[in-house]
Amino acid sequence: MLTPRIEIDLEKIAHNAKVLKDLYGSRGIDVIGVTKVVCGNPDVAKALVKSGISILADSRIENIRKMRNAGVQAQFLLLRTPCLSQAKAVVKYADISLNTELSVIERLSEYAIDYDSPHKIILMVELGDLREGLMPSDLDNTIKHVLDLEYIELIGIGTNLACFGGVKPDDEKMGYLSATANDVENKYGLTLEFVSGGNSANYNWFMSTKDVGRINNLRLGESIYLGCETLYRQPIPGLYTDAMTLVSEVIESKMKPSVPYGEVCQDAFGNIPEFKDQGQIRRAILGVGLQDVLVSGLTPRLDIEIIGASSDHIIVDAKNIDVNVGNEVEFDLNYGALLSAMTSLYVNKVSSDQLNAQEYCEMVEQKYRKHMQDLPTISIKEDHSPLISLNESGFNLIFEPSIIKDYKYMVREAVFDKIGRISKRLENEDKTLIIRSAWRSFEHQRLLWEERVDSLKKEYPKKQIEEIEELVSYFIAPPSKSMHSTGGAVDALIYDLKNDCVMRFGTNDGLKMNLNDKCYPYHPYITPEAKNNRKLLIGLFEEEDFAVDIKEYWHFDYGNVSWAIETGKEHAIYGRVAHTSNGTGLPGGFLY
């Protein structure tokens, strides 16, 4: 996958949102989902709505417009006091806005009249944090004027604490806001729909208070995305704290001194750095920096230490961790780091819609079971075409090293010609086809099977052999059942000559493959880059009448029984081949 990136686990965010909605709802407090830290990400917004949140709040009208255009079905609240210059857009895109300035509300009224669209407002009251809010002594006069404005509907009052001044929401503050709400209603004959007591910082007050008073609304962001309250950043029981992950890539890993040598002056940001002398250390450099993220807000998930950062690099002491170039390193983020990373144009945002992914994987598994049931029913009319070595073809190909010494990468004659044409098309795009594997003998398949079994035994020492073999069978066929034994199966990837690397397909690190359900060809939780690369690879082979494997985007079948099932052919033309070397490249026998 592309790096640096933010991985957004939508299922965990949806879980946190639902738990918090139920928790606060148990005492009559509704939740507004704040989307500003995720920059109005439509996938996140839809996850919040699915969790039962009906109002979304953002401080940027651009983000609200983005969510509306993406079809998010919710009411939208502008979280920041509107700019005079944006009043028209606020009336057009926001259903509700928080307000403190009478001149702004008057401008909102003018545009609401023009659009014939009433606009709802919540007046914010200053209770000590000294960010936005009317001074309590000015509230009465403001309300009188607001009630005279056409097309403006006063639906609530609110306050904001612990954002700028760090002032704690407590019984005194919430009691004052409740009393203010009662006074407003009694004096002006209103029924306030919202008495909005604050944000994620209100968790400790809520858990300790005996009476929530008139508070019936909170605006939550950080506790939904990071699973913590915001006064002391303690985890909230039952919530995920790892729904957001920053992933960066190692671009250098070397033994170097722990202290710079030479005369030390200011660094790139005007600081004079200080370092502790630890002798030689493993210094790894990551391809992400201060231009991408607030580095001080990152916590590595590995036992490594951030030494410092420049605009484009983070330097870490890898300690005893073996980190190599190309490895990915994961970080937890605090609110500031998350805000900066989500705002950065240089950080890719990848959403894991596990609900869609789960449905897709279940569909794949169901199709695979049906496929396996159908295999014995397909007849084979063997055409007896020979096996030919791609290794000796002269085609522009790259060959992945094999577990078998002097492996010839043999395929049937028709497959040989098809690979030649695919190779030529890629050559015109400055790319090269990588052949990972082709025809395999039973012995070859057995070695692959046993190698994977041994690997998983070490990884899962407590699992029974039956469980291990079931895991292996997800991506490696038993020796007697592999389509590679027909000479009609090819495993392939693509090398990008311009960028001098194996293209990224979502589960590969170069030629190394991470075997999991993201290997399913059309898995939704992969980057746009990986999706485009898979589209290219699969398209090239499908143009030559290959069928992509149900579970492996790199595996392609032609002529065998899997191909016949997937392409709707009446019969297969290739059976299994037991090859014996006779110097001619001809199959030594056929097994049906």
Residue 194: which region, alpha, beta or left (left: phi > 0; alpha: psi -120 to 50)? Answer: beta
Q: What tokens were used for 215?
A: 């508070």
Contact status, residue 42 vs residue 72, Cβ threshold 8 Å: yes
Per-residue pLDDT at 582: 38
Short-list 257, 249, 210, 205, CA closest to 231: 205
State the CATH class of domain 5-226.
Answer: alpha beta
What's the DSSP call for residue 232? S
Q: Which residues are catalytic?
A: 36
What's the DSSP call for residue 503? P
Tell me the three-class secondary structure of 38-54, residue by residue: HCCCHHHHHHHHHCCCC
Per-residue pLDDT at 587: 41
380 three-class SS: strand
Q: How many angstroms separate the CA atoms of 197 and 154, rounded?
A: 17
Per residue of the chain (592 residues), give pLDDT as tens. Answer: 578 999 999 989 999 999 999 999 999 999 999 999 999 999 999 999 999 999 999 999 999 999 999 999 999 999 999 999 999 999 999 999 999 999 999 999 999 999 999 999 999 999 999 999 999 999 999 999 999 999 999 999 999 999 999 999 999 999 999 999 999 999 999 999 999 999 999 999 999 999 999 999 999 999 999 999 999 999 999 999 999 999 999 999 999 999 999 999 998 889 898 888 999 999 999 999 999 999 999 999 999 999 999 999 999 999 988 889 988 999 999 999 999 999 999 998 888 664 467 778 888 988 988 998 999 999 999 999 999 999 999 999 999 998 888 899 999 999 999 999 999 999 999 999 999 989 988 677 677 767 777 777 777 787 788 777 666 665 566 655 678 889 999 999 999 999 999 999 999 989 988 878 899 998 887 877 888 899 999 999 999 999 999 999 999 999 999 999 999 999 999 998 875 443 334 443 333 2
Per-residue pLDDT at 589: 36
CB atoms near residue 348 (< 10 Å): 18
Per-residue pLDDT at 583: 36
5 three-class SS: strand
- The one-letter amino acid code at 343 reads T
Per-residue pLDDT at 588: 37
* C-alpha pair distances (Å), 544 with each of 205, 388, 417, 534, 547: 66, 18, 10, 16, 9
* C-alpha pair distances (Å), 8 with each of 67, 214, 225, 241, 349: 17, 35, 9, 12, 7
What's the DSSP call for residue 343? H
Contact status, residue 72 vs residue 92, Cβ threshold 8 Å: no
Per-residue pLDDT at 579: 56
Per-residue pLDDT at 477: 62
Contact status, residue 121 vs residue 134, Cβ threshold 8 Å: no
* pTM of structure: 0.65
Give, rounded to a whole angstrom, the gap between the first and last alpha carbons of the chain: 41
Per-residue pLDDT at 475: 59
CATH code of the domain made up of 354-440+482-591: 3.30.1380.10
Per-residue pLDDT at 40: 96
Contact status, residue 293 vs residue 306, Cβ threshold 8 Å: no
